[in-house]
């Protein structure tokens, strides 16, 4: 038996594709007309598998024109070829094609009762992120899976940034700052004690529900007191996050904390700017061996309206690469999902500020230790 041969489908494969589709599925079949359209769509990929010169499988991958997502729309393997690794090879090839088209995430749907397929996807690193009810013709439920397929390849252009995950739900700022400082100083501790020390120094006391979060002024001071050069960009003057509390006494506390931060910054060499920090300026800082820590809105990423600190590690022609310190293990996330996370530059411009009416842009750029 020959090895499985993978290639792009061509017009002469149409009859065999339709035959395989009809043998593989009793419902939700792709029609001959649709196959013909997919064959003629240069953006999408229709990959076929041949075994002993016979078509034994296909994988149809759709490339969304507006996003960096790819989607396995349909995959089929002939009964006689099952158990020979054909499906796994089709998926692997589909992912390579998607990476070649600069896609970040591969997504797919699978019937909730298709245990064999679900096991395969999970073994290949896919995780469930949603459910479609009444998705199939027989009203069956589809489980939605995804896997990140595009990863940053470190280069000599930028400093390598070690990854550190936050250990509480309220210490994204300290964790992002720790990563930036550790990139510049190998002796910088990366542990929960240091994470909480910075949180105590930098917290704004009140923010949304639960424990207080950290603002740019406090993070800048924490880095300065640890010996680093620091520049901070804050687009708004006055106390930040006042709209997250309703009580006048709490608002006054935020104002007093802010005044204290400004006084302390005045006793240091921290450069505080109130004009916007551009992407070009961030890239220039990275090329100088400096590491930006920025406040983002996670709405574009996970539909959560909370301010969140991340570390900018690299920038190339298409992407801004972030270390996101928050790992949602309940959703199956791992370090690989949050390290050098590629964000399309168009999306980055939308997430790199927080708030609706007067969006807040905040960033702290950490430079080498002062001599």
pLDDT of residue 179: 98
CATH annotation of 5-148:
3.40.630.30
Per-residue pLDDT band at 318 (split at 50, 70, 90) = confident
pLDDT of residue 305: 66
Taking a C-beta distance cutoff of 8 angstroms, is the pair 112, 133 a contact? no
Global pTM reads 0.77
- C-alpha 224 chain-centroid distance: 29
Instruction: Work out the mean pLDDT of the chain and round it to a whole number.
Output: 90
For residue 145, which of 191, 95, 183 has the smallest C-alpha distance? 95
Residues of the chain with CATH 3.40.630.30: 5-148
Cα→Cα distances 344→228, 351, 354, Å: 30, 11, 18
Q: Residue 54: beta bridge partners? A: 51
Structure tokens at 324: 């996101």
CATH annotation of 172-369:
3.90.70.10
Cα→Cα distances 217→59, 72, 179, 223, Å: 51, 45, 18, 10
Structure tokens at 313: 């590690």
What is the helix, strand, coil percentage profile of the chain, to 5?
Answer: 35, 25, 40
pLDDT 10s digits, 78-130:
998 988 899 999 999 999 999 999 898 999 999 999 999 999 999 999 998 88
Taking a C-beta distance cutoff of 8 angstroms, is the pair 331, 129 a contact? yes
pLDDT 10s digits, 15-68:
999 999 999 998 889 999 999 999 998 889 999 999 988 999 999 999 987 778
Residues of the chain with CATH 3.90.70.10: 172-369
10 Å CB burial of residue 325 (0-12, 13-18, 19+) is buried
Judged by average pLDDT, the poorest of 63-67, 154-158, 204-208 is: 204-208
């Amino acid at each position: 038996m020959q090895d499985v041969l993978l290639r792009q489908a061509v017009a002469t494969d149409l009859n065999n594709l339709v035959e395989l589709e009809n043998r593989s599925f009793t419902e939700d079949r792709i029609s001959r007309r649709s196959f013909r359209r997919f064959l003629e769509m240069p953006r999408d990929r229709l990959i076929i598998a041949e075994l002993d010169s016979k078509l034994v499988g296909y994988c149809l991958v759709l490339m969304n024109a507006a996003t960096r997502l790819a989607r396995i729309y349909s995959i089929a393997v002939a009964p006689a070829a099952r158990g020979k690794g054909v499906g796994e090879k089709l998926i692997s090839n589909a992912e390579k094609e998607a990476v070649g088209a600069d896609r970040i995430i591969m997504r797919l749907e699978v019937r909730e009762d298709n245990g064999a397929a679900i096991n395969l996807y999970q073994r290949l690193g896919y995780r469930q992120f949603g459910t479609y009810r009444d998705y199939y013709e027989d009203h069956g439920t589809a489980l939605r899976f995804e896997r990140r397929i595009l990863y940053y390849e470190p280069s000599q252009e930028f400093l390598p940034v070690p990854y550190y995950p936050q250990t509480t739900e309220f210490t994204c700022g300290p964790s992002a700052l720790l990563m930036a400082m550790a990139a510049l100083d190998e002796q910088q501790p990366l542990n929960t004690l240091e994470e909480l020390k910075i949180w105590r120094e930098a917290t704004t006391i009140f923010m949304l529900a639960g424990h207080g979060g950290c603002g740019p002024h406090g993070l800048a001071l924490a880095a300065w007191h640890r010996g680093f050069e620091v520049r901070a960009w804050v687009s708004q003057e006055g106390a930040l996050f006042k709209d997250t509390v309703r009580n006048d006494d709490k608002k006054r506390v935020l104002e007093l904390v802010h005044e204290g931060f400004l006084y302390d910054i005045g006793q240091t060499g921290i450069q505080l700017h109130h004009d916007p920090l551009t992407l070009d300026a961030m890239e220039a800082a990275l090329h100088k061996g400096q590491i930006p820590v920025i406040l983002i809105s996670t709405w574009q990423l996970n539909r959560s309206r909370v301010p969140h600190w991340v570390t900018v590690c690299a920038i190339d022609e298409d992407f801004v690469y972030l270390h996101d310190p928050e790992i949602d293990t309940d959703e199956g996330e791992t370090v690989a999902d949050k390290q050098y996370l590629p964000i399309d530059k168009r999306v980055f411009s939308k997430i790199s500020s927080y708030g609706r009416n007067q969006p807040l842009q905040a960033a702290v750029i950490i430079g080498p230790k002062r001599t």
